[in-house]
Amino acid sequence: MARQSTGSVVVNMLLLALCCATTSIVRGDGTEWIVGGNKGWTFGVAGWENDKHIQPGDKLVFKYERGKHNVAQVDVRGYMECKAPEGTKIYSSGKDTFEMPGGKAYWICTFPGHCEKGMRIGIPPR
């Protein structure tokens, strides 16, 4: 097996990232983002948001298999501890949409162990 140079590895990773880029639709009232792109809201989605320019008013669409996952908007503590505070509304339709508020926002899956397996995102203010 041939070894790739570091430069080749970086280029290949960038190409892969472009191929897996998020699906987004620009509309007059903001951009609609499919969280996780083609994979949707699933394990390992943490970090998906890092290179996105998500702004207040944009819509975040969480697509997942109903009954296998859910989504809850939480505070920073809930995000860090992978726990939804008591009284948090849990969404479980399989296609849940949230409008991006101003400021930092966080979402997690509350199924046991899912958040710890990367089903969480934190979006900084823009």
Q: Could you please report the per-residue DSSP string of 32-66?
A: EEETTGGG-S-TT-TTGGGG----TT-EEEEE--B
As a whole number of angstroms, the longest Cα–Cα distance in the chain is 55
Query: How far is CA 78 from each of CA 13, 52, 110, 116, 125, rounded to the nearest angstrom?
Result: 32, 22, 10, 12, 18
- Rounded Cα–Cα distance for residues 35 and 64 (Å): 10
Q: What is the dihedral of CA 66, 89, 39, 58, to 10 degrees?
A: 130
Q: Please give the pLDDT value at position 46.
A: 97
Q: Digits of tens for pLDDT over the chain (126 positions)?
A: 455 555 555 445 444 444 444 444 554 568 999 999 999 999 999 999 999 999 999 999 999 999 999 999 999 999 999 999 999 999 999 999 999 999 999 999 999 999 999 999 999 876
Contact 110, 84 (CB under 8 A): yes
Q: Please give the pLDDT value at position 5.
A: 57
Q: Please give the pLDDT value at position 48.
A: 96
28-42 as b/e: b if 16+ CB within 10 A: eebbebbbbbebbbb
Per CATH, is 23-123 categorized as 2.60.40.420?
Answer: yes
Q: Please give the pLDDT value at position 16.
A: 43
Domain parsing of the chain, residue ranges: 23-123
Q: Please give the pLDDT value at position 22.
A: 42
pTM: 0.77
